[in-house]
Amino acid sequence: MLSKVQFLRISATFCAPTPPKRSSFQQIVTFTARFGSRMGSASHTTSSKLLFRQLFEKESSTYTYLLADVSHPDKPALLVDPVDKTVDRDVALVKELGLKLMYAINTHVHADHVTGTGLLKSKVPGVKSIISKASDANADLLLEPGDKICFGSLFLEVRATPGHTQGCVTYVTGDGSEQPQPRMAFTGDALLIRGCGRTDFQGGSSDQLYNSVHSQIFTLPKDTFVYPAHDYKGFSASTVGEEMQYNPRLTKDKETFKSIMANLNLSYPKMIDIAVPANMVCGLQDDETKVVS
């Protein structure tokens, strides 16, 4: 595993670091994009660099996100929350678009599906796995709050948003004239569209989740797009402003929120006994008999 103080090379150039208060590693990000729906209405960013695709795995209702810098000669790309069942689809798309997949990153240790990170590493040479250090999972790169995942000329910043699990993070596109606008937040299960992730296992805490969302996501500009890890009602995206106004759980005061979460009476996740052990080591190989990190 690479040291946090190392810089990762995308081409011949290093990502120029901003002076950090806590240094880990700096990398670069970039995007060319027209974005999906804002709860059904079309909208787009002003960046001409980001290639963005929102992909779906129907069995677990999981969204995987492909981002790439098409202004860079190598067209470096990353996948957020890949699923093992759709790795072949994702690899084919990366090849069709002429991209160079650099990173496979997870927002947290999932309990409802096996991550595709391990399979991606076995199928695409050089891909690095990424997850938060707080997750206690294995990966090539372990993130801490304030770190940046860089590819091309833009970046994703890492925000700690625990509460669904102890290691949940939200990835947010950078702030600045060279970054995509409006900004984008890949919220995992911390903030869903008109909902949020459950807090009754994997070190979950409704108190912590409430604080995370309000301090790390609801403080973003209101036009920031919200792209969750799952949706079960057919929505593809929301915005911070919409969730601050309409989210039926997180618009309540903290004590009411905690009461709501304590009385959900949800069933035991059917994949948890398979998914969590596999995802702690970032997935399985093709034959699903040998764990890879």
- The gap from C-alpha 252 to its chain's centroid, in whole angstroms, comes to 25
291 domain-assigned: no
List, for residues 77-133, the tens digit of each pLDDT value: 999 999 999 999 999 999 999 999 999 999 999 999 999 999 999 999 999 999 999
β pairing state of 76-80 and 100-105: parallel
**What is residue 241's DSSP assignment?**
H
**Per the structure, how many domains does the chain have?**
1
CA distance 216 to 182: 17
List, for residues 217-265, the tens digit of each pLDDT value: 999 999 999 999 999 999 999 999 999 999 999 999 999 999 999 999 9
Contact 17, 6 (CB under 8 A): no
Please determine, for residue 277, whether its predicted confidence score (pLDDT) is greater than 60: yes
159 domain-assigned: yes
Identify the domain containing residue 180 by its residue range: 4-279
290 domain-assigned: no
287 domain-assigned: no
Q: Is 13 helix (H, G, I), strand (E, B) or coil?
A: coil
Specify the amino acid at residue 60.
S
pLDDT band of 47, cuts 50, 70, 90: low
CA distance 25 to 15: 10
Percent share of the chain, pLDDT over 90: 77
189 domain-assigned: yes
Specify the amino acid at residue 237.
A
274 domain-assigned: yes
Q: Pick from 166, 156, 239: which is nearest to 209 by CA? A: 166
Which CATH number does the domain housing residue 14 bear? 3.60.15.10
